[in-house]
Structure 1
Amino acid sequence: MIKFSLRLLLFACIATPAVAQSPDASAIRQIFDTELSQGKSYAALEYLTTRIGARLSGSPGAAAGVEWSRHEMENFADSVWLQPVMVPHWVRGQQEQARVLNSKKQGTIEMNVCALGMSVGTGPEGVTGQVIEVKSFEELKQLGEKKIKGKIVFFNRPMDPKQINTFAAYGGAVEQRALGPSEAAKYGAVGVIVRSMGVNLEDYPHTGSLRYALNIPKIPAIAISTRHAELLSKLLVSEKDLQFYFETHCETLPDAPSFNVIGEIKGSQYPNEIIVVGGHLDSWDLAQGAHDDGTGCVQSMEVLRIMKMMGYKPKRTIRAVMFMNEENGLRGGLEYARQAALKQEKHIAAIESDDGGFTPRGFTMNAAEGPKARIKSWKPLFAPYGLTDFDEEGAGADIGPLEPQGVTTLGFLPDSQRYFDYHHTRADTFDKVSKRELELGAASMAAMVYLIDQHGLN
């Protein structure tokens, strides 16, 4: 252990000074110093989450978020404008309820549930049926119409706790939420219960969007808290005829007008080359949308603010985009890319923050080998700030539609362990965000933008 530590110390003494004394390292140090001592991201997040709150697309909260972010960026951007986009308008309606009706062991049991986003409602009569538990679409197929018709399908595949990357665990379970209702409807199910997408045992459910398939009946779907999913599963072991009731009042209204909000600082040498940073302004309706994705929005705006506070004049045009409707449609990201193509804009990079406002770990990316190698060459500049992970592929959903235009896309990568404690739940509130972690993330994104602006990616 002593020899290992000495080797690290010797390496630091030899390798660090050249990096530490470089103009890029000095600029990045100034970026972090500025944000950690003068940053406004936390105050901005407090206003967005506690004064405006939930911002589901089509809602009054979303409209208020648009106006707030426009006014906010007018304080430091060279220009700010609204980009019109039509968005889905789904409303939850009255409070949901659900219960087990006839347990021989426990009688009637109230269950913690919420409607899945974009689900149809049950109406006041609710849905009652025998529960059939499955863990995969293959298992559902094997049961077939004979055993599924007229019943409520309970998808109970948990996120894999062995996955260190919780987003990988989420990816391994989320299809049952997104596609499960239509898969169950193929075999005549009358409703669907989905285990919430959370790693821990919790009392509150996680919402999230589903996608109904064409030409298949739309059946109502709810998420159940992980703790009550465990209870329901245990009851079903010995009580195969268990009856379940749930009632929801959600509905989808006609598409509503909304906007992406765009602010930019014009480039001084290459104004037609654009670097985008962004987050999605919309959130689910259960809470304040703090980690998903208030943090990403204020971090993206803060990149422009940091540059103004430092007196930095970028070579290229830097844009902050508050995308609308990531949660249940991606209309904002699609429209932004469509307009970029129509205007023949040259985007050289896009960075999205949509994984929460936790401690920075690095960046994911979808990039050609040349840009990828250049970005990875900057790892020593980020290492003093704890960012060492540059190996994962992927980026943000909102900037994904830019990729066919040849744009290098990056995702800000914070620590993932706590994100799914709050994701799509009533617990996603301002008090769950650390001021210091939020500011470190904003500075990390600004540092990446600075390096791309200074050196390009080719």
Structure 2
Amino acid sequence: MQKLTLLFIFCFSGYLLQAQNQDEATIKKIFDQELTNGKSYQMLEYLATKIGARLSGSPGAAAAVDWTRHTMLDFADSVWLQPVKVPHWVRGAQEIGKVTNSRKRGTIDMSICALGGSVGTGAAGVTANVVEVKNFDELKQLGQRNIQGKIVFFNRPMDATKINTFTAYSGAVDQRASGPSEAAKYGAVGAIIRSMGSTLEDYPHTGGLRYAPNIPQIPAVAISTKDAELLSRLLKEERDLQFYFETHCQTFPDAPSFNVIGEIKGSLHPEEIIVVSGHLDSWDLSQGAHDDGAGCVQAMEVIRLFKAIGYKPLRTIRAVMYMNEENGLRGGIEYAKQSELKKEKHLAAMESDRGGFTPRGFTMSAPENVVAKVKAWKPLLEPFGLTDFDQQGGGADIGPLANQNVPLFGFLPDSQRYFNYHHTKEDTFDKVNQRELEFGAAAMAALTYLIDQHGL
């Protein structure tokens, strides 16, 4: 009996070693292929520079859908469009913002842009005195007596002491999302929101707001971080300062659009689906290169890479390009709804929506046993700089799949530069480093391979 036990241990150990060697060889093959013959950077160049801005409901979004479908036909087993109705908001003519009555400096132009989903001012614009607050508690303390008929200026910066810039963003973004409605409760006629940027810049960051029901909708703009600092200084010197801003944005009826889906069928468990994904829409100010063109081409590249190295997955690998993450999440919600109706079985879902920067690891929103299994793969991934597997989270578009008990994974690149470009005119193709982008695509493919081979 003892000899049989020893023989079993010896054979099993040999099997594990062989499997580990195979995993190491395949992962290296993935990285070698991407770093020498990858197509993610080439695909991003076309998406960002030839198509450009892709706000939901726009001609750019429609062109991106068509390009993505045709591109994936070259390497996916099947490609299809999933219909989804999306918000249709249009920025309109160039916004104007300025201080109008500074006794010391006269009229001062300010760098602003309308927040996504905001109502416009029209040609008359809005002129009023400005009240500066840092948070909603200060707003409440001031009350209607001090706010009625004025513009509320929310000036809470992202916390520079937070190493994770996404944590800093989360700590400041409520003023953009809910600030206009909170200000309107007390009779404000407009809202100015400090841009969600991690450095001092002279260009504003747009982003979505959410109007609360049964509260007047007031126009709202973002102001660059540099001009937010200037406006704050001026208000300390001149309390009766007036601000003028003019916007021409409009919201139209929901528009038809699509999620774009491509997949390669699994050879052993085709009914089990592993999703890799990004969101195809972007804000209208720029090319949307980091947010989220990078994530889209990385997800597409996962299935292209598997075909390129001759890897036949055991499970179905599905690349999903969601529409409308930026101002509605309609694509992610619709995908999860259709998945539930079809009773599809998703083994895992992965999203890349943090830019095309140097990979650090993956976030996870999954049961403890799944987290433990993935962390056991760290020795296979650490040689490629993937060391951080401790943060929670998945992604906005794959979030609705959590209701179906699907483990969620978020691609985790270095975050220090992301909020220099996020939702701004600066989010352009030239800001993306080819090697960093390709490393990210290979990292996603490597984790997808391990999930496919070993399950969760």
Task: Quickly name the TM-score band, shorter chain normalised.
Answer: over 0.9
Q: If the length of structure 1 is used for normalisation, what is the TM-score?
A: 0.95
> In structure 2, what residue type is equivalent to 1:28?
I
| Structure 2: 5+ residue stretches without partners | 1-16
CA shift digits 1:244-264 (9 cap, x unpaired):
000000010000000000000
Residue 402 (structure 2) aligns with? 403
Distance change (3 Å), C-alpha of 1:186 and 1:284? same
Aligned-partner SS, 2:187: coil
Q: How many Å separate the matches in 1 of 2:200 and 2:105? A: 20
Q: If the length of structure 2 is used for normalisation, what is the TM-score?
A: 0.96
Aligned-partner SS, 1:398: coil
Residue 175 (structure 2) aligns with? 176
CA shift digits 1:349-391 (9 cap, x unpaired):
0000000000000000100011111111111111001110000
CA shift digits 1:6-32 (9 cap, x unpaired):
xxxxxxxxxxxx799621111100000
CA shift digits 1:304-358 (9 cap, x unpaired):
0000001110000000000000000000000000000000000010000000000
Tell me the C-alpha RMSD between the 2 structures: 0.9
Aligned-partner SS, 2:81: strand
> In structure 1, what residue type is equivalent to 2:420?
D
Shift of 1:238: 1.5
CA shift digits 1:97-121 (9 cap, x unpaired):
0100011111100000000000000
Question: Are 1:19 and 1:380, in contact at CA under 8 Å, matched by a contact in 2?
Answer: no
Question: Are 1:136 and 1:155, in contact at CA under 8 Å, matched by a contact in 2?
Answer: yes
Aligned 1:13-162 pairs, distance under 5 A:
22-162=21-161
Distance change (3 Å), C-alpha of 1:96 and 1:380? same
Residue 246 (structure 1) aligns with? 245
Residue 266 (structure 2) aligns with? 267
Q: How many Å separate the matches in 2 of 1:97 and 1:135? A: 24
Aligned-partner SS, 1:296: helix
Aligned 1:201-216 pairs, distance under 5 A:
201-216=200-215
Aligned-partner SS, 1:22: helix
> In structure 2, what residue type is equivalent to 1:444?
A
CA shift digits 1:265-302 (9 cap, x unpaired):
00000000000000000000000000000000000000
> In structure 2, what residue type is equivalent to 1:172?
G
Q: How many Å separate the matches in 1 of 2:371 and 2:150? A: 50
Residue 232 (structure 1) aligns with? 231
Question: Are 1:132 and 1:152, in contact at CA under 8 Å, matched by a contact in 2?
Answer: yes
> In structure 2, what residue type is equivalent to 1:192?
A
Question: Are 1:57 and 1:87, in contact at CA under 8 Å, matched by a contact in 2?
Answer: yes
Aligned-partner SS, 1:46: helix
Q: How many Å separate the matches in 2 of 1:263 and 1:311? A: 18
Residue 361 (structure 1) aligns with? 360
Distance change (3 Å), C-alpha of 1:212 and 1:19? farther
Aligned-partner SS, 1:56: coil
> In structure 2, what residue type is equivalent to 1:431?
D
Q: How many Å separate the matches in 2 of 1:329 and 1:72? A: 26
Q: How many Å separate the matches in 2 of 1:127 and 1:389? A: 48
Residue 188 (structure 2) aligns with? 189
Aligned 1:291-306 pairs, distance under 5 A:
291-306=290-305
Q: How many Å separate the matches in 2 of 1:127 and 1:95? A: 15
> In structure 1, what residue type is equivalent to 2:249?
C
Residue 14 (structure 1) aligns with? none
> In structure 2, what residue type is equivalent to 1:201?
L
Residue 371 (structure 1) aligns with? 370
Aligned-partner SS, 2:449: helix
Q: How many Å separate the matches in 2 of 1:101 and 1:126? A: 13
Length, aligned pairs only: 440
Q: How many Å separate the matches in 1 of 2:135 and 2:340? A: 40
Question: Are 1:102 and 1:108, in contact at CA under 8 Å, matched by a contact in 2?
Answer: yes
Aligned-partner SS, 2:35: helix
Distance change (3 Å), C-alpha of 1:245 and 1:370? same
Residue 437 (structure 2) aligns with? 438
CA shift digits 1:17-75 (9 cap, x unpaired):
x7996211111000000100110000000000000000000000000000000000000
CA shift digits 1:84-133 (9 cap, x unpaired):
00000000000000100011111100000000000000000000000000
Residue 166 (structure 2) aligns with? 167
Aligned-partner SS, 2:27: helix
Aligned-partner SS, 1:158: coil
Q: How many Å separate the matches in 2 of 1:374 and 1:403? A: 19
Q: How many Å separate the matches in 2 of 1:105 and 1:376? A: 60
Q: How many Å separate the matches in 2 of 1:141 and 1:148? A: 10
Aligned-partner SS, 2:445: helix
Q: How many Å separate the matches in 1 of 2:46 and 2:146? A: 51
Q: How many Å separate the matches in 1 of 2:300 and 2:357? A: 17
The percentage of counterpart residues that share the same residue type is 73
Q: How many Å separate the matches in 1 of 2:188 and 2:379? A: 55
Q: How many Å separate the matches in 1 of 2:336 and 2:323? A: 13
| Structure 1: 5+ residue stretches without partners | 1-17
Aligned-partner SS, 1:259: strand
Question: Are 1:20 and 1:26, in contact at CA under 8 Å, matched by a contact in 2?
Answer: no
Q: How many Å separate the matches in 2 of 1:105 and 1:414? A: 46
Residue 321 (structure 1) aligns with? 320
Q: How many Å separate the matches in 2 of 1:299 and 1:23? A: 24
Q: How many Å separate the matches in 2 of 1:452 and 1:179? A: 39
Q: How many Å separate the matches in 1 of 2:203 and 2:449? A: 41
Aligned 1:372-387 pairs, distance under 5 A:
372-387=371-386
Q: How many Å separate the matches in 1 of 2:403 and 2:43? A: 33
Residue 348 (structure 2) aligns with? 349
Q: How many Å separate the matches in 2 of 1:25 and 1:119? A: 51
Residue 419 (structure 1) aligns with? 418
Aligned-partner SS, 2:169: helix
Aligned-partner SS, 2:319: strand
